[in-house]
Amino acid sequence: MSTLAITTAREIFDLLRDDLAAIELELGKDACSGVSTITEIAEYLREGGGKRIRPSLLLLAAHLLGYSGSGAIRLGAVVEMVHTATLVHDDIIDGADMRRGRPSANTTWGNEKCVLAGDWLYMQAFKVALEEKNLRVLDLLIGLTQQMVEGELLQIQKLGKAVSEAEYYDLIFRKTACLFAVSMRLGAVLAGAGEAEEASLAAYGRAVGLAFQIVDDVLDLTATEEVLGKPVASDLREGKATLSVIHSADHGTAADRQAIQRILDDRSFEHVTREQLQDILVRNGSVEYAMAIADRYAKQALQALAPLPDSDYKRALLWLPEFVVAREK
């Protein structure tokens, strides 16, 4: 990552420092339940941290359009709770043992308790969102939740299969980019934005979200376990074909396709090693291809902001796509 990008990331954090601190307090308050197990799980998940990129997007969108009320803090906590709930359910479905360098919640509390805690977080998010007394906010959150659940079900249907690029983009929109886009829309709604402004911000969120997930999938194949905080190549071990793998299957030799399908069938590297897979990806230029697509979406995000007014908040949004593409974990 360039020094300039790091400097800008620090500037973004400084710009949002007070708001993000307020969102952490809100999350701590919202994590409390009369049932101690729910509180314990919710608090464990909150302490696990994360980039808080979705609340940051909501804050930047709201401030860009002149909003500075407490609704941005509440809804920032809401989108983070929705995101956390999806991670809990994902870890259960995937049988994941690690999340952000720590044992996943389901390894400590078990699947039964964690699936219910995830459900509680969804409902808690909607309860907090109700405080805005804004039907448009609820409509966006309902549509978002439906898209994400549909995305998870579609992904389960595709496990072990070499999906097309078009199917891959649809999946990562539903599972990731949709929440980025809705975070931007929620910020716009709080600020009373017009349709054109909201559409521009949503287009930005969609493009950044797609770039984010493509890079995430590349890192799953290329980073180390120490950096990722979870086992490498988890996607393939779960039977998920991501963009680099899809590219090699589409553009490689028949032997390449057979090797990739064998990994997807085995859900392991027992017969085809990770080193053999890396050779296939390198020979076909597949990682470079995926990163070029991520860069293309980053540029689309910048274009989406063109009609919006200049400010420090717009400057932060303009630098965020570079940060997303250049990150190492």
For 88-109, how does the pLDDT look when each residue is reduced to its tens digit (9 = 90+)? 999 999 998 888 789 999 999 9
121: in domain: yes
8 A C-beta contact, residue 234 and residue 220: yes
Tell me the residue type at 78. Answer: V
328: in domain: no
Using DSSP's 3-state secondary structure scheme, residue 307 falls into coil
Residue 56's nearest CA partner among 317, 327, 323 is: 317
| pLDDT reported for residue 1 | 45
| pLDDT reported for residue 231 | 80
309: in domain: yes
Tokens describing residue 107: 């390894």
| Tokens 């599972």, located at residue | 175
Residues 6+ apart with CB under 8 A from 135: none
Rounded to a whole number of angstroms, the CA Rg of the chain reads: 20
| pLDDT reported for residue 6 | 42
327: in domain: no
326: in domain: no
Tokens describing residue 281: 């990806």
How many CA atoms are closer than 13 Å to the CA of 155, on its beta-carbon side? 25
238: in domain: yes
DSSP secondary structure letter of residue 175? I
Number of domains in the chain: 1
127: in domain: yes
What pLDDT, in 10s, does the model give residues 230-277?
788 999 999 999 999 999 999 999 999 999 999 999 999 999 999 999
94: in domain: yes
Tokens describing residue 231: 């086992």
User: Is the pTM higher than 0.85?
Assistant: yes
| pLDDT reported for residue 126 | 98
Distance from C-alpha of 106 to C-alpha of 89, rounded to nearest angstrom = 9
Range of the structural domain that residue 61 is part of: 3-321
Exposed/middle/buried for 192, CB within 10 Å: 0-12, 13-18, 19+? exposed
Q: What is the CATH number of the domain that holds 307?
A: 1.10.600.10
> Which residues in the chain come in under a pLDDT of 50?
1-3, 6
| pLDDT reported for residue 2 | 47
| pLDDT reported for residue 283 | 98
